[in-house]
Amino acid sequence: MKNYILLLIWTVFIQNVYAQGRNANWVFGDSAGMHFDGLNTPAVYKTNCKSKGESSTISDTAGNLLFYEFGISNLPDPCDAVYDNDFELMTNGDSIFGDTWYNTDIIVPLPDNDSLYYLFSTVISNSNRGLYSAIISKPNFLSPGVVLTKNIKHTSRQLSDCIQAVKHGNGRDWWIIVRTGAVVPSDSFFVWLLEPTGLSGPIGSKAGLSSFDGFHHIAFNKDGTKFTQVSASGIIEEFNFDRCTGNITSNRIMHYPVTMNYPLFWGVAYSPNGRFVYMSQYKITEDTGYIYQLDMSLPSPWPNRDTIWYCHPYQSIFLRLGPDKKIYVSHPDNQYAFPWYPYPDSLFTNEITYLGVINSPDSPATSCNFTPYSFYLGPNTRCYLGTSNLPDYNMGPLTGSICDTLGLSIASNVLVQAELNAYYHQSWHAIIINANKLKGNRASIRIVNSEGKEVYLSINEKIMQGYLQKNVTLPNIASGIYIVTVTSGGQQLSQKVVVEKW
């Protein structure tokens, strides 16, 4: 059995983490990790991640890290690997096809299943090119995971660096989206549908401008009906996405170069309310990095853009909206001309040990309050350039659409609202458990110690109008740290309990 040292670390974070859900952890760059725990400042921790680009990450619905994936750029394909939340290689988690760029991998849960996850990976630059998937079993954050199958190939098309996933309009299933391109200019998208029964597709759409490069980055708005794409060759384009059918159509072209001078548009992110799009650019002729704000409510966002920051030499690249509704920006070290050049192991500069933060992204122009180099990733950790590629796991159904057929709604997503309170009562020799706003009629309760050893399990506790109360008498329990987990109706809530006996 694996040594779950991480359990001891994770008890620092475990209270109140459920508010952030599956988006709660980012593992990225070179050994840096972030945990969004619902407080004003995310917590940081160190991992074994050695990617020169991005990683993909997933947490459980209570916000506990489950596993993550990254590739190592100086190794030949298949060079991606899946690591468990104890920072050790998952069983059968090595030798997975996938690139080491910046949006080449993404993880989604199998709908209506609490234990199975799909990792989708793209290879864009060699003879193994195409879209691949792996299926991963991870029952909960205390159990070891295993890669059940891997390197399942779904297409041999030449793909671009922009895989994304978005919820189907029913709020349960997932669309997996890739774009063709890279070496060969193309205007084609392919979309697969992941349902409880598995993967189907693809659905093809020809939309928008043909691109001359494979560096595309895509960000969806808050309801998943639109996305903006930027590319290194100079395209800024907004698309419509039909969450019921998976069809993609062009909405408007905001920028296209007259000549192929590679204006190098890199990162893109929507503000939480969807009004603004933030994007970064590297102007080679000036060796200067820019971050722009585009007001999407205007007919012509690009000519009316606001420059919220610029820096010479070049020091801005990727942006991602966090679950705390702030946008985080990775900064490259200006000594290294291009993103994949490896940094010396001894290099720890402000650019790569700090992230920039757009603190109020729903506010116009400079009132968005961008603060460069303001979020410290912790000692001996650093971000390369990429950020964790995560979809919006908390997106609900497209209310009122023809495919909103499952009776789900964002308001009924109790995974975000459920509450758990647990503590040890010294006189009663019992752990007192109270949970509220639960789904279903029955719940399971599991208590483990700091080594992951189970000390109590009950699988048929009655829920009354969303409320569960249980006094678990444990007269011989030792002093120490314990984790109480309540599972019901697809929900999983966890809390640390400190037992002190004297």
Q: What is the DSSP string of 7-34?
A: HHHHTTT-TTGGGTGGGSEEEETEEEEE
Residue 190 has pLDDT above 90, yes or no: yes
420 versus 333: the higher-pLDDT residue is: 420
* Per-residue model confidence (pLDDT) at position 337: 52
Type of residue found at 113: N
Main-chain phi, psi angles of 74, to 5 degrees: -95, 10
* Per-residue model confidence (pLDDT) at position 1: 40
| Residue from 102, 123, 99, 105 nearest 54 by CA | 102
Q: How far apart are CA 93 and CA 82, in angstroms?
A: 5
* Per-residue model confidence (pLDDT) at position 258: 54
Q: Specify which residues 467 forms β-bridges with.
A: 464
Q: How far apart are the first and last CA of the chain?
A: 32
Residue 12 has pLDDT above 60, yes or no: no
Arithmetic mean of pLDDT, 20-47: 85
Residue 435 has pLDDT above 90, yes or no: no
Q: How far apart are CA 34 and CA 17, in angstroms?
A: 13
Residues 6+ apart with CB under 8 A from 482: 431, 447, 448, 449, 450, 455, 496, 497, 498, 499
164 versus 465: the higher-pLDDT residue is: 164
* Per-residue model confidence (pLDDT) at position 279: 95
Give 436: exposed, middle or buried? Use CB within 10 Å, 0-12, 13-18, 19+.
middle
* Per-residue model confidence (pLDDT) at position 351: 79
Arithmetic mean of pLDDT, 127-152: 91
Q: How far apart are CA 487 and CA 433, in angstroms?
A: 13
- Listed in sequence order, the DSSP H helices in 107-173 are none
Q: Which of 28-37, 45-54, 354-363, 437-446 has the highest mean pLDDT?
A: 354-363
Mapping DSSP to helix (H, G, I), strand (E, B) and coil, where does residue 260 land?
Answer: coil
Residues 6+ apart with CB under 8 A from 400: none
122 versus 11: the higher-pLDDT residue is: 122
Q: Which of 18-22, 207-211, 215-219 has the highest mean pLDDT?
A: 215-219
Q: Rounded to whole angstroms, what are the CA distances from 72 to 25, 77, 195, 210, 269?
A: 20, 9, 31, 30, 26
Percentage of the chain modeled with pLDDT above 70: 88
Percentage of the chain modeled with pLDDT above 90: 44
Q: Specify which residues 231 forms β-bridges with.
A: 216
Strand order through the sheet with 288-295: 265-270, 276-283, 288-295, 306-311
Are 372 and 309 within 8 A, CB to CB?
yes
Q: Within its chain, how far is the Cα of 19 from the centroid?
A: 15
256 versus 229: the higher-pLDDT residue is: 229
262 versus 96: the higher-pLDDT residue is: 96
* Per-residue model confidence (pLDDT) at position 227: 96
Residue 76 pLDDT grade (very low, low, confident, very high; cuts 50, 70, 90): low
Residue 439 has pLDDT above 90, yes or no: no
Residue 305 has pLDDT above 90, yes or no: yes
- pLDDT tens-digit profile of 310-349? 988 877 678 999 999 999 998 877 666 555 456 777 788 8
Please name the residue that has the structure tokens 């997975």: 96
* Per-residue model confidence (pLDDT) at position 51: 76
* Per-residue model confidence (pLDDT) at position 411: 39
Q: How far apart are CA 341 and CA 158, in angstroms?
A: 24
* Per-residue model confidence (pLDDT) at position 75: 64
119 versus 424: the higher-pLDDT residue is: 119
* Per-residue model confidence (pLDDT) at position 7: 43
Are 216 and 179 within 8 A, CB to CB?
yes
Per-residue burial over 333-354, b = 16 or more CB atoms within 10 Å of its CB, e = otherwise? beebeebeeebeeeebeebbbb
Residue 73 pLDDT grade (very low, low, confident, very high; cuts 50, 70, 90): low
- pLDDT tens-digit profile of 460-470? 898 887 888 88
Arithmetic mean of pLDDT, 265-271: 92
Q: Which of 37-41, 129-133, 365-369 has the highest mean pLDDT?
A: 365-369
pTM of the model: 0.79
* Per-residue model confidence (pLDDT) at position 183: 59
Residue 18 has pLDDT above 80, yes or no: no
Element (H, E) at 445: strand 442-449
- Overall size of the chain counted in residues: 502
- What beta strand segments (E) does 125-173 contain? 130-137, 146-155, 164-167
Arithmetic mean of pLDDT, 458-486: 88
Mean residue pLDDT of the chain comes to: 84
- pLDDT tens-digit profile of 218-234? 999 999 999 999 988 88
* Per-residue model confidence (pLDDT) at position 71: 81
